């Protein structure tokens, strides 16, 4: 009986519907783990890139040179993307001429908001899948369990004498579906909550940088006029003061 009640035996001898449920949950679990590892790497790289860019930005760097360097590297991400979008609009508005400081500031802000929105979309990619797996997998597994138990009782009604050995295999194979549903759901829920928190923290950093950079541009317009030449960021200590 122990051989008959092994996990492999229960899966192989389950009804077609229960097997399809198990296969669906297995695929969901595999995809969830793949997304978990991919998002871990993406968020780790995004956090490190934000740290590196902030160090460069608040080190008294020449913004025109920093922008040219980012443009030469190509395909900026995170804070670099937000900065490049804002500074590119800044340069375009200066070349066009005739725009007031308020119009320039508003144009730069719109460009950076669009870049920020795209970065948020990139960070949140596939998180909804983890949320879906975490919320629906237990119910999918429960459906397989109910179906398997229903079949077990139907088979039990066809025999003259009901015994535990007759009904146990059917109930056991049905419960495997619930176990697989929980196995798929628990890591997905944990990863989703963890990654959603990290995304929120990164988005807050991006938003804070956007406001700080916009304030820096406003000071440039008020103090030195509409020219990007020689425009530098203050040091981190001066920015905090």
**Nearest 10 degrees: Cα torsion 6, 173, 33, 196:** -140
**Which band of pLDDT confidence, cut at 50, 70 and 90, is reported for residue 9?**
low
33-86 per-position pLDDT tens digit: 999 999 999 999 999 999 999 988 888 778 888 888 988 888 889 999 999 999
State pTM to two decimals: 0.79
137-149 per-position pLDDT tens digit: 999 988 888 888 8
Higher pLDDT, 94 or 14: 94
The rounded distance, in Å, linking the Cα atoms of 241 and 238 is 5
pLDDT score recorded for residue 79: 92
pLDDT score recorded for residue 241: 40
Evaluate whether 127 touches 39 at the Cβ level (below 8 Å).
yes
CB neighbour class for 32 (10 Å; exposed up to 12, middle 13-18, buried from 19): buried
Residue 59 CB contacts under 8 Å (≥ 6 apart), including other chains: 233, 235, 236
With the C-alpha atoms ordered 158, 160, 164, 165, is the resulting torsion angle positive or negative? negative
pLDDT score recorded for residue 24: 92
**Which band of pLDDT confidence, cut at 50, 70 and 90, is reported for residue 7?**
low
| pLDDT for residue 230 is more than 60 | no
| pLDDT for residue 214 is more than 60 | yes
| pLDDT for residue 240 is more than 50 | no
The rounded distance, in Å, linking the Cα atoms of 4 and 127 is 39
- Domains of the chain: which residue ranges? 28-134+183-240
What would the DSSP string read from start to end of the chain? -TTTTSHHHHHHTS-HHHHHHHHHHHHHHHHHHHHHHHHHHHHHHHHHHHHHHHHHHTBT-BHHHHHHHHHHH-S--THHHHHHHHHHHHHHHHHH----HHHHHHHHHHHHHHHHHHHHHHHHTTHHHHHHHHHHHHHHHHHHHHHHHHHHHHHHTTSSS--HHHHHHHHHHHHHHHHHHHHHHHHHHHHHHHHHHHHHHHHHHHHHHHHHHHHHHHHHHHHT-S--TT-BPPBHHHHH-
What is the arithmetic mean of pLDDT over 14-27? Answer: 85
178-190 per-position pLDDT tens digit: 888 999 999 999 9
pLDDT score recorded for residue 11: 66
| pLDDT for residue 165 is more than 80 | no
With the C-alpha atoms ordered 120, 117, 50, 208, is the resulting torsion angle positive or negative? negative
The mean predicted confidence, pLDDT, of the chain is 83
């Amino acid at each position: 009986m122990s051989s008959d009640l092994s996990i492999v035996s229960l899966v192989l001898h389950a009804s077609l519907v229960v097997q399809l449920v198990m296969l669906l949950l297995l695929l969901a679990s595999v995809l969830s783990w793949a997304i978990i590892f991919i998002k871990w790497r993406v968020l780790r790289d995004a956090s490190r890139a934000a740290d590196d860019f902030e160090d460069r930005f608040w080190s008294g760097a020449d913004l025109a040179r920093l922008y040219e360097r980012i443009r030469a590297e190509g395909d900026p991400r995170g804070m670099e993307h937000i900065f490049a979008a804002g500074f590119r609009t800044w340069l375009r508005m200066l070349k066009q001429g005739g725009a007031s400081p308020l119009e320039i500031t508003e144009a730069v802000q719109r460009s950076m908001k669009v870049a920020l929105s795209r970065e948020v979309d990139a960070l949140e990619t596939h998180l909804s899948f983890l949320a879906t797996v975490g919320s629906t997998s237990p119910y999918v597994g429960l459906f397989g369990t109910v179906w398997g138990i229903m079949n077990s009782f139907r088979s039990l009604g066809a025999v003259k004498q009901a015994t535990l050995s007759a009904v146990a295999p059917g109930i056991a194979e049905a419960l495997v579906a619930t176990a697989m549903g929980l196995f798929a759901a628990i890591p997905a829920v944990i990863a989703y909550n963890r990654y959603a928190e990290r995304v929120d923290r990164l988005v807050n950093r991006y938003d804070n940088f956007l406001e700080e950079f916009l304030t820096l541009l406003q000071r440039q317009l008020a103090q030195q006029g509409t020219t990007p030449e020689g425009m530098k960021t203050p040091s981190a200590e001066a920015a905090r003061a």
